[in-house]
Chain A
Amino acid sequence: MSSTVPPTEAVILEEQGEASVRSSPAVKFALTKIGGALISLAMVILLGFFAFKILPGDPVAKLAREHPMSPEQIAQLRAQLGLDKPLWQQFGDYLVNVFTLNFGESYVYKQSVASLIGDYFWNTILLTGTSAVIAIALGLWLGQKAGWRPGSRFDKVTSGTSLVWWSVPTFWLALILLMVFGGTLHWFPTGGMVSPNSPDDALGKVLDVIWHMVLPVTTMVAVVYAQYVMVMRASVMEEKSADYLVTARAKGLRDDDLRTRHAVPNALLPTVTLVFLHIGGLVAGAVTVETVFSWPGLGKLTYQAIQGPDLPLLQGTFVVFSAIIIFTNLVADFVYRRLDPRVRRG
């Protein structure tokens, strides 16, 4: 997967090349970037429609096998699902619907896909957001410490362990954690986001959710933090040989301060965009993690859409996941522009 390969030097170099784009005047920059994001979103929506129309299959026939139905009942059901219209009409309906944020009705849940996604959206954001923050913080911290003294024991241990974690399939780690900590030790719940008899006070509810979050967040962080370690490490190593650091060292600055006050802030710049780039991998990891831990989010919806197969729902989650990442990358562009003073000239 593009976003799960540990980044190479060349990508960092390329990031520095991108700086020229960012040094255009603010309004032009904003319009270019937002325009680009909208185009990407439009392409995603198109892709979403046509990809699914290739699929053969008749969800109505499957339903009829489970439940005795007369031909009239079947025809009625098919008309309800809008499956009897010609393709171009279905596409027209789809476009109109997308503009009104109507993704159709889920075959399986018999609820509007938009409302289903609305219900589950924030749960996924909570999970992936928390995991992202922790993974980034942890990864960056470990990476800059490791990159400062490459070849040291700390570096070797950090790089080694993060490489091992990166090689672990997310769903497998989730299974193991569920098995050991949820099943055998009973330290954490075996699934869901809230207990069926959750406490009534606000803080109690919050703690209940946090308790349910521990295992899924741990899984997601473990598998993903390695990327950030590697990125930061490479960036700091690159920065280490800079002239201004030689000067500062000659002036007698402590090594730690050199690292934290000078090298790291400058090393952070190219890291920022790469960090946001890999958010995609994190978000996609939500699918397997939410499935294993029964977390009521978009990932679990996607899994159940696969089981159906429930095409409107799969279409909807595909578009929403892509939109999240497009948005995050847009934010990354703006953040980078803000962070890098060299860029804000024009």
Chain B
Amino acid sequence: MSGPIETTVRSPRSMAWARRRHAFGAFCREFSRSRSGMVGLGFLVVIVVLALLAPVIAPAWMLDLTKLLDQPRFAPPSLDHPLGTDDQGRELWVRMIWGARVSLLVGFAATAVSMIIGTVVGIAAGHFTGWTGGLLMRIIDFFLVLPSLILAIVLSVVLSRGVWTIVIAIGLTSWAGTARVVRAQTLSVESRDYIERARVLGAGHWHIIVKHLLPAVLPLVLANTTLTVGSAIIAESTLSFLGLGDATLQSWGSVLKNSMDVSAATAGYWWYVLVPGIAIVLVVLAFTLVGRAVETIVNPTLRSR
């Protein structure tokens, strides 16, 4: 039960913000009821904190090969070396923590690019009827049809190698799915009465889009975002594995590529292959759980399940 009922007059804006805060609180309470969602979120928080604290927990000198000349190479996991060491003597847990930074950064950045493009194009495709809408729909369909990994490979080969190339490659190849969903939602919202009303009252495109469509679409986009981050992380590791990433950076994908290059699998250095892979699986799973929990809240038709 909330506090005493206020009787003072408030501006429309502060009322809107109060409503949003209330909705957000309801969302959080709803979310906390989903066990899988909370587990996923908790895990992600731990990983993000570890990644942010990387320079503190695992200072940069631990990755400087010239300082590690006395470290054992390919040491199996033990108390001295919690996750084992790699071919140049670096501690694997150090590489994993620093790798989390790059993998998560690439995941978030690529998703952001994808989401922004997807939302903008999706709303435009749903809102504008006739020629423009049809053309945008065609473009969305075209990008849906392109095999995303192959296109990402092409882009990575063509542009100079580096982290931002991967971000662009993943972003440019995965926005179409979001755009499709956003378009569908836009179409269903467009047919509602209050939009009709706003238009009759003289609202222009911009007003309708920003004030009505965007808020209606955003929860869905949010659900989609968390799911996309997971697949962006997998995409990054795949592109690194194929040799298209920035080899000088630590990322979980490049650690796996290193393990391939030094034939860790053949030689029996199982920790080198298993640890980064399991990390990817767990993080992606966590994002998926969170995403599905959010989706359940956002889409009421799914709620009764």
Contact = CB atoms under 8 A, between A and B. Distances in A.
Interface in A152-182: 163-164, 166-172, 175-176, 178-179
Interface residues of A, number: 63
B157 A55 contact: yes
A66 interface: no
Contacts of A285: 149
A172 B230 CA distance: 16
B150 A171 contact: no
A249 B242 CA distance: 54
Interface in B168-210: 170, 173-178, 180-181, 183-185, 187-188
A291 B241 CA distance: 11
A287 B235 CA distance: 13
B178 to A, nearest CB: 8
A281 B151 CA distance: 12
Contacts of B295: 8-9
A307 interface: yes
Contact of B147 (A6, A40, A166, A284): A284
Given A11-B184, A170-B238, A179-B265, A5 B154 contact: no
Contacts of A306: 153, 157, 242-244
B277 A172 contact: yes
Contacts of A40: 141-142, 145
A133 B180 CA distance: 26
Nearest to A326: B145
A237 interface: yes
A5 B175 CA distance: 11
A151 B288 CA distance: 18
B227 A6 contact: yes
B150 A5 contact: no
Given A179-B265, A306-B243, A321-B150, A10 B220 contact: yes
A242 to B, nearest CB: 14
Contacts of B265: 175, 178-179, 183
A277 interface: yes
A11 B227 CA distance: 15
Contacts of B302: 9, 234
Given A8-B299, A284-B148, A167 B230 contact: yes
A2 interface: yes
B38 to A, nearest CB: 16
Contact of A288 (B152, B178, B241): B241
Nearest to B300: A9
Interface in B191-250: 220, 223-224, 227-228, 230-231, 234-235, 237-238, 241-244
B281 A318 contact: no
Interface of B, secondary structure class, is helix
Interface string A41-70: 001100000011011000000000000000
Nearest to A5: B227
A264 B181 CA distance: 24
Interface in A277-320: 277, 280-281, 283-285, 287-288, 291, 302-303, 306-307, 309, 314, 317-318
Interface string A2-32: 1111101111011001000000000000000
A293 to B, nearest CB: 13
B302 to A, nearest CB: 6
A123 to B, nearest CB: 17
A287 B242 CA distance: 9
Nearest to A311: B157
B49 interface: no
A325 interface: yes
A28 to B, nearest CB: 16
A57 to B, nearest CB: 10
B7 interface: no
A185 interface: no
B11 interface: no
Given A163-B285, A175-B260, 4 more contacts: A5-B227, A14-B184, A151-B305, A322-B145
